[in-house]
Structure 1
Amino acid sequence: MSTINQMSELNLLLAQEHVQHQSSVPHLVERILYRNEGTLTEKGAVQATTGTYTGRSPKDKFIVKDETTANKVDWGTVNKPIDDSTFVNLYHKVLDYLKGRNELFVFKGYAGADEKHRLPLQVLTEFAWHNLFARQMFIRPETSEVEDHEAEFTVISAPTFKADPSVDGTNSEAFIMISFKHRVVLIGGTEYAGEIKKSIFSVMNYVLPEKNVLPMHCSANVGKEGDVALFFGLSGTGKTTLSADPQRRLIGDDEHAWSSYGVFNIEGGCYAKCINLSQEKEPQIFDAIHFGAVLENVVLNEETHRPDYSDTSLTENTRAAYPLEHIENTVQPSIAGHPNAIIFLTADATGVLPPISKLTKEQAMYHFLSGYTSKLAGTERGITEPQATFSACFGSPFLPLAPATYAEMLGEKIDQFNTDVYLVNTGWSGGSYGEGERIKLSYTRSMIQAALEGELSSAETYQDPYFGLNIPTHCPGVPDEVLFPRKTWAKAEEYDKSAKELAEQFHENFQKFTHASHAIKQAGPTYNRSR
């Protein structure tokens, strides 16, 4: 059976003359333009398109099942197994294919801002713009660190290599495969750069718990008094937008970890959704998109090369990747203390969840395991309008281990550091998607500000009869009626019907968490709750 000899075949490829190492941003931009991989916006950002794949392709992601992972990975529809020999054969085919390319690019860096827990990695890409993406998304080493850098994981991206499912064991021409035994991520058939970023997040979700460090799909920022806030949520729920607060310093927008010392960013950049982006509503993100940034599937005006962030002709999942340095008020290095507050974000397309509610510890564990939101258009292939989904720990696609592993770690830390937890709905109000309206961003910002400043800790609350959530009766900057979703609907009976249906969905989803304690199970929706 074929095996991988990391010290020979891959290293021989990396040593070839056509492989460029640790290229600067200007050099990569030059190569991108020369190779016709993209163009420049009016402010000098690179714009590239990704063809057929404009979002992640979860059906094409696999983890190699071997003696290392067989009894550890939570196998199922998310973590689909593939055998080692199939992976190794495809690995050799991809390397042989890349040997014939005219030019390849390598970036060496880290995942994890805390040096005690960082993962040295290298990213080998067929496209120059993918290498620029990796350079801006991961943590860039100091010049003095490059010479001694020894990668513990390698990402190999070959988007123009198309797999043959009948021969290569894949589901389609595209594949994203992770081998923890060989410490390689193999990506092919898709040009969507987000696969590079999220594959390493999956790796960190596997290796960090072994060190008693909790990996988290969340954004994070810190206030003037050193108070730390975490924002959990799936793509499109507002993690990037709400953590980019001019009154607080940004730690990171998407992936973090919580160790015995505090919180640290896993990445060195941001990957923001650009749909309907404006300088007025999101000035930090808007102003960060200049030379060195990468725009993905954003349509440009042919004459001015000005981005049209309202154009969804390619996808609604338009993206901007830029380094943290493009935002002024960031924490460098991106490390902070223990969280004072945790915000669970959900974009509820049914329009029945309250805009904000304070959770007990048991409710926090219930909603963390549930991970409810509405999957927004464009984030994955085939999603054209919001769909209700439950994603454990607000990041199920990236969790190789059982959700309980992460939930138990979070519960312990909430207890240890007395962290407040809130559930915030950034979705719809006054009706479901198509009838109601998206909750105003200004209202959401006011609610979060009140929560982080402690104004809601002792506020008078009303317990929702369907979900058992404690809703503050007043919040500065928000009309009182907005806090109670039933009052925003034209017909209360339609709200009642939708609320009952969503409560039933919560109960049905939570049945799979058979090992959850009775107290956590009882912390779910009160409507039709079994005793």
Structure 2
Amino acid sequence: MKTKEDTLLTKDLLTHENIHSNLTVPHLVEKILSRDEGVLTSTGAVSATTGEYTGRSPKDKYIVRDDTSEDVDWGETNQPIDEASFDQLLKKVTTYLHSKDELFRFQGFAGADENYRLPIQVINEYAWHNLFSRQLFITPTESELTEHQPEFTVISAPTFKADPEVDGTNSEVFVLISFKKRIVLIGGTEYAGEIKKSIFSVMNYLLPKRDVLSMHCSANIGQEGDVALFFGLSGTGKTTLSADPYRRLIGDDEHGWSPNGVFNIEGGCYAKCINLSKKKEPQIYHAIRFGSVLENVVLDKGSRNPDYDDTSLTENTRAAYPLENINNIVSPSVAGHPNTIIFLTADASGTLPPISKLTKEQAMYHFLSGYTSKLAGTERGVTMPQATFSACFGAPFLPLAPSTYAEMLGEKIDQYNSNVFLVNTGWTGGPYGTGERIKLSYTRAMVHAALEGELNNIETVTDSIFGLAAPMHVPGVPDEVLVPSNTWSDKEAYKMEAQSLAMKFHENFQQFTQASEAIHNAGPIYKG
């Protein structure tokens, strides 16, 4: 629980003579424009840039180590920081923000299921960050707002820079989470995604303690009420593939799976919009309108039309918009138990099958592995795709041990008989730089077939290196695309690349010593 001093510091910010609480979207847009924080685009969205930091700063994220956080899985992902350092920075940031002409406050919720939602408040230095928060979290009704009591507070001061030698941080940037004091403290970075992901980390700590599996995934529901989950790291296609005109969207990035079913943690979408086009992704394209926030998207100076193909600022261009900007959504964002689970990976080696149906053991293996190629721009310093393994497809946001989430998922797959597929949205015909990205139309056709049950009893071929059962035929997809080796002109090069990736899987999985022998054996067949 918060101490009296911590509560007073937060309340001190709330007594700022010019703190604006729960401004409407039009009022926030006016503030953003009058304060020169951003400009209005031809679509009616606000466009802002984030300067040096155009992605998350994982090396600058810390969790306060105290008597309430000892069950945290400490390490490179969850770096500890002591209470004294946190207290010192909290006082500095509070004093700093109190000197500002204006502050902005949003009160809302994380979690669409009223039984599991977390009341939060976000205090921002920037008006555009406050609009971002309003669009990404769940806005309360007027009656809910009158009774709103925040249980977690995010304080964001992007222009306050830490002094590493004095403050105990790695750099001028800091993202600190105190579960004891129920405060997230962010400074030194203007990248708005830190606000969203810090609360996701909080939910990943709190929900499992209430028998709810927190998940880095998108979710939608079909006309017959069938629910699908899409797991995957940033850039693998969660937002794109879940925004299906024939299915209603539950949410695009963060969900909980409770004994009652699935619910969205957020109230909006944070979509990557690099190479966004009306033809390929019409729902996302048309969702970016008044009230939306474009982040690091280059505009034509004359028309102010967004140029979604321009990567001069970053490849991690983003759009934040409320769920209601998508036509076919579920409201409220809750649904039943998943029928289909899809693991998405963007394999830069070009050797994984575009789609394969997983056994229960393979599902647990690939969930714990969380393989993908980290795409350019999602983190500072990443300029080329890099092979990476992120447990549960979301390791940067998991305060608890990966086995906690994996065991819960395994139990739910068994309980609800969910079908699980591994879908590769990455490269074919060769690795990155030689091959080409699998066509989105092909991926959509494969996902559609999986959701409709068309792949449950179809003829498959088992990959000799990865042991994955790939369908030999999928409607709308050329047969040769389904078997990766068929798309490579140099078969020996394919074999070497595939074997190299298989070894990376085995090396990574050595850390999961608690996994059963059956799960260990569900990985690639090739073992060197």
TM-score using structure 2 length = 0.99
Matches within 5 A, 1:126-525: 126-525=125-524
Distance 1:4 1:81 in 2: 23
Residue 528 of structure 1 and its aligned partner are, at CA, apart by: 1.6
Residue 3 of structure 1 and its aligned partner are, at CA, apart by: 6.4
Amino acid across the alignment from 1:338:
H
Distance 1:330 1:494 in 2: 45
Amino acid across the alignment from 2:380:
R
- Is there any run of 5+ residues in structure 2 with no aligned partner, and where? none
Aligned residue in 2 for 1:16: 16
Distance 2:15 2:427 in 1: 54
Aligned residue in 2 for 1:59: 59
Distance 1:386 1:35 in 2: 37
Distance 1:3 1:359 in 2: 48
Amino acid across the alignment from 2:51:
G
Distance 1:244 1:180 in 2: 34
Distance 2:257 2:51 in 1: 37
Distance 1:516 1:12 in 2: 49
8 Å CA contact 2:3–2:181 kept in 1: the answer is: no
Identity percentage over the alignment? 71
Aligned residue in 2 for 1:105: 104
Change (3 A) 1:237 1:4: farther
Q: SS of the counterpart of 1:369?
A: helix
8 Å CA contact 1:446–1:478 kept in 2: the answer is: yes
Distance 2:444 2:259 in 1: 30
Amino acid across the alignment from 2:178:
S
Aligned residue in 1 for 2:28: 28
Aligned residue in 2 for 1:121: 120
Residue 381 of structure 1 and its aligned partner are, at CA, apart by: 0.3
Distance 2:7 2:343 in 1: 44
Q: SS of the counterpart of 1:208?
A: helix
Residue 209 of structure 1 and its aligned partner are, at CA, apart by: 0.3
Amino acid across the alignment from 2:327:
E
Amino acid across the alignment from 1:102:
D
Distance 1:4 1:272 in 2: 39
Distance 2:202 2:3 in 1: 21
Amino acid across the alignment from 1:55:
G
Residue 9 of structure 1 and its aligned partner are, at CA, apart by: 2.3
Amino acid across the alignment from 1:284:
Q
Distance 1:9 1:276 in 2: 44
Q: SS of the counterpart of 1:146?
A: helix
8 Å CA contact 1:136–1:323 kept in 2: the answer is: yes
Residue 16 of structure 1 and its aligned partner are, at CA, apart by: 2.3
Residue 159 of structure 1 and its aligned partner are, at CA, apart by: 0.2
Distance 2:78 2:354 in 1: 33
Amino acid across the alignment from 1:66:
D
Aligned residue in 1 for 2:527: 528
8 Å CA contact 2:230–2:242 kept in 1: the answer is: yes
8 Å CA contact 1:4–1:88 kept in 2: the answer is: no
Residue 205 of structure 1 and its aligned partner are, at CA, apart by: 0.2
8 Å CA contact 1:37–1:48 kept in 2: the answer is: yes
Q: SS of the counterpart of 1:291?
A: coil
Distance 2:211 2:374 in 1: 30
Distance 2:444 2:472 in 1: 17
8 Å CA contact 1:63–1:81 kept in 2: the answer is: yes
Q: SS of the counterpart of 1:135?
A: helix
Distance 2:63 2:445 in 1: 42
Distance 1:82 1:516 in 2: 30
Residue 4 of structure 1 and its aligned partner are, at CA, apart by: 5.9
Distance 2:434 2:229 in 1: 31
8 Å CA contact 1:113–1:267 kept in 2: the answer is: yes
Distance 2:15 2:140 in 1: 20
Distance 2:13 2:210 in 1: 33
TM-score using structure 1 length = 0.99
Aligned residue in 1 for 2:40: 40
Q: SS of the counterpart of 2:241?
A: helix
Amino acid across the alignment from 2:39:
T
8 Å CA contact 1:40–1:46 kept in 2: the answer is: yes
Q: SS of the counterpart of 2:72?
A: coil
8 Å CA contact 2:472–2:479 kept in 1: the answer is: yes
8 Å CA contact 2:16–2:103 kept in 1: the answer is: no
Distance 1:196 1:320 in 2: 14
Residue 147 of structure 1 and its aligned partner are, at CA, apart by: 1.3
Residue 441 of structure 1 and its aligned partner are, at CA, apart by: 0.1
Distance 1:81 1:338 in 2: 36
8 Å CA contact 2:219–2:230 kept in 1: the answer is: yes
Distance 1:14 1:413 in 2: 43
Distance 1:293 1:129 in 2: 10
Residue 379 of structure 1 and its aligned partner are, at CA, apart by: 0.2
Distance 2:378 2:16 in 1: 37
Distance 1:225 1:463 in 2: 31
Amino acid across the alignment from 1:423:
L
Distance 1:231 1:9 in 2: 40
Q: SS of the counterpart of 1:256?
A: strand
Amino acid across the alignment from 1:429:
T
Distance 1:528 1:34 in 2: 61
Q: SS of the counterpart of 2:62?
A: strand
Q: SS of the counterpart of 1:5?
A: helix
Render the CA deviation track for 1:248-282: whole Å, top value 9, x for unaligned: 00000000010000000000000000100000000
Distance 1:203 1:383 in 2: 26
Residue 5 of structure 1 and its aligned partner are, at CA, apart by: 1.9
| 4+ long deviations beyond 3 Å | none
Distance 1:82 1:12 in 2: 24
Distance 1:4 1:367 in 2: 45
Amino acid across the alignment from 1:397:
P
Amino acid across the alignment from 1:13:
L
Distance 1:5 1:189 in 2: 24
Query: What RMSD, in angstroms, separates the aligned Cα atoms of the two structures?
Result: 0.9
Amino acid across the alignment from 1:313:
S
Distance 1:228 1:10 in 2: 40
8 Å CA contact 2:158–2:190 kept in 1: the answer is: yes
Distance 2:15 2:96 in 1: 16
Render the CA deviation track for 1:24-76: whole Å, top value 9, x for unaligned: 00000000000000001002100000000000000000000000112x00000
- Is there any run of 5+ residues in structure 1 with no aligned partner, and where? none
Q: SS of the counterpart of 1:435?
A: coil
